[in-house]
């Protein structure tokens, strides 16, 4: 394990110490958790954006997509436990 030094303003350091104490953690553990959560969120965002980019490329290549009203009706039916079929993709109107 390596060591990294960070410089933070005194007021933020005091806030971290107070929040860590409230959470029942050391300031060190609190900071590590905050860094870990931030890194995980960035990784999740990147994965989400990669899927979105891939899907958009598929839409552009095929010219087909599911109209929002059809998708919304499908999702509403699924949420209500109703049997339903997936809506079919159609050519985009130009």
87 shares a domain with 57: no
49 shares its domain with 73: no
Residue 58 pLDDT grade (very low, low, confident, very high; cuts 50, 70, 90): very high
Domain count, the chain: 2
Full residue range of the structural domain in which residue 85 is found: 63-94
Distances (CA, A) of 93 to 63, 64, 67: 9, 9, 10
**pLDDT tens across 68-93, in order?**
999 999 999 999 999 999 999 999 77
Instruction: Note whether 14 and 53 are same-domain residues.
Output: yes
In three-state form (DSSP H/G/I as H, E/B as E, the rest C), the secondary structure along 17-60 is: HHHHHHHCCCHHHHHHHHHHHHHHHHHHHHHHHHHHHHHHHHHH
pLDDT of residue 94: 65
1 and 20 part of one domain: yes
Question: Which pLDDT score is estimated for 16?
Answer: 98
Q: How far apart are CA 23 and CA 30, in angstroms?
A: 8
What digits encode the pLDDT tens for the residues 20-45? 999 999 999 999 999 999 999 999 99
**pLDDT at site 87:** 95
Q: Is residue 67 domain-shared with residue 85, that is, in the same domain? A: yes
pLDDT (0 to 100) of residue 61: 93
Question: Does residue 47 sit in the same domain as residue 4?
Answer: yes
The answer to whether residues 67 and 51 belong to one domain is: no
State whether 10 and 45 are in the same domain. yes
What pLDDT shows up at residue 26? 98
């Amino acid at each position: 394990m390596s060591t990294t030094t960070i410089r933070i303003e005194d007021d933020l350091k005091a806030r971290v110490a107070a929040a860590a104490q409230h959470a029942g953690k050391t300031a060190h553990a609190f900071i590590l958790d905050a860094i870990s959560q931030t890194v995980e969120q960035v990784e999740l965002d990147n994965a989400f954006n990669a899927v979105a980019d891939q899907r958009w490329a598929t839409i552009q290549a095929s010219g087909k997509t599911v109209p929002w009203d059809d998708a919304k009706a499908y999702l509403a039916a699924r949420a209500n436990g109703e049997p339903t079929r997936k809506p079919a993709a159609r050519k985009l109107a130009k």
